[in-house]
Structure 1
Amino acid sequence: MTVSVEVLMLLADQQGTWSYRRAAATPLPGEAPDETARRISGIQADDPAHVVHSTSWRHLPELDQIVLTYAVCPDPEPESARTPLNDLTIARGSAPAAPSPDQIENANVAAHAIQHLAFLRTTDPVVERTLEQWPTIAMALAFPAGELDNVRA
């Protein structure tokens, strides 16, 4: 089984509409997943203006691969081509002991990452201070955690 790191570089506009840019790579020999995420996104470990945070993982049986997902917020290259998030639905498993969804799309993973950042914004002072530097991001994350499915882009 292989491990892959994907990074979803997130951005919200003035209306609170989210979009993302996705990149993925395999960790280099001896490289920790956090380091891979920073390498992919071009963020330095001491960057005070961006959050890099692991938000989820999933198994891709067809590739025999584990994908570790990181959110980077805000996207360090906001002018780059992006995928709009028109629907912020989070994929969910069908039973309490079967948490993996039957089907999951990149948009579902991005929606989960946004909800994760909203939670961290209210529970992690380091993340809160960082995201408060970006008023449009802070505004777009200002909804109670758990209510993401009610928010539409």
Structure 2
Amino acid sequence: MLLADHEGSWSYRRAAVAPFTGEAPDDGVRRISGIRADDPSRVVHSTSWRYLPNLGQVVLTYAVCPDPEPEATRITLDDLIIARGSAPAAPSPDQIEEANVVAHAIQHLAFLQTTDPVVGRTLEQWPAIAMALGARSPFPAGELTDVRA
């Protein structure tokens, strides 16, 4: 659950949920964040997935923005660093930290702010968030650039 201040600094709060039997992941995220599906003031968006081989699980990551509990204890991000794979055909990073996942989610929202009118209108209601996202590149999170000479 993401929040930006007027200086453009990001903080987050982590929550985890296993959907109930028959419950869609979107619904599980809304349940733990207390957000209704028709809430016009919050974005709930799946931003990434990753496989945890030691558990045999796929983890879906969602961004909830802005955090519906802005007064809750938060983790401040010093840098927004997206983890990358070591080769084009090996996209999974060797190591990924929670902060990398959050940075990826923020980059994803920056992309959506400029390409998805519904998300853009929603995030524009929050000037600090809109400004902080506007300072990010609107390119898709994880986009590889052409490094050929």
* TM-score normalised by structure 1 residue count: 0.89
Structure 1 residue 121, shift from structure 2 partner:
0.2
2:15 pairs with 1:23? yes
- Aligned match of 1:62: 54
Deviations 1:43-65 (A, max 9, x none): 10000000000000001111111
Query: What is the one-letter code of the residue matched to 2:88?
Result: P
Rounded Cα–Cα distance in structure 1 between residues aligned with 2:140 and 2:23: 36
Moved over 4 A (4+): none
Q: Which residue, 4, 25, 42 being the options, matches 1:12? A: 4
- Aligned match of 1:74: 66
Deviations 1:99-130 (A, max 9, x none): 10000011000000000000000000000000
2:45 pairs with 1:45? no
Q: Is the 8 A contact 2:85 2:93 kept in 1?
A: yes
Number of matched pairs? 140
Query: What is the one-letter code of the residue matched to 2:13?
Result: R
- Aligned match of 2:138: 145
- Aligned match of 1:107: 99
- Aligned match of 1:4: none
- Aligned match of 2:82: 90
Rounded Cα–Cα distance in structure 1 between residues aligned with 2:9 and 2:43: 19
Structure 1 residue 140, shift from structure 2 partner:
0.2
Give the share of equivalent positions with the same residue, in percent. Answer: 75
Rounded Cα–Cα distance in structure 1 between residues aligned with 2:102 and 2:44: 14
Structure 1 residue 145, shift from structure 2 partner:
2.1
Unaligned runs of 5+ in 2: 142-149
Q: CA RMSD in A?
A: 1.3
Rounded Cα–Cα distance in structure 1 between residues aligned with 2:105 and 2:59: 14
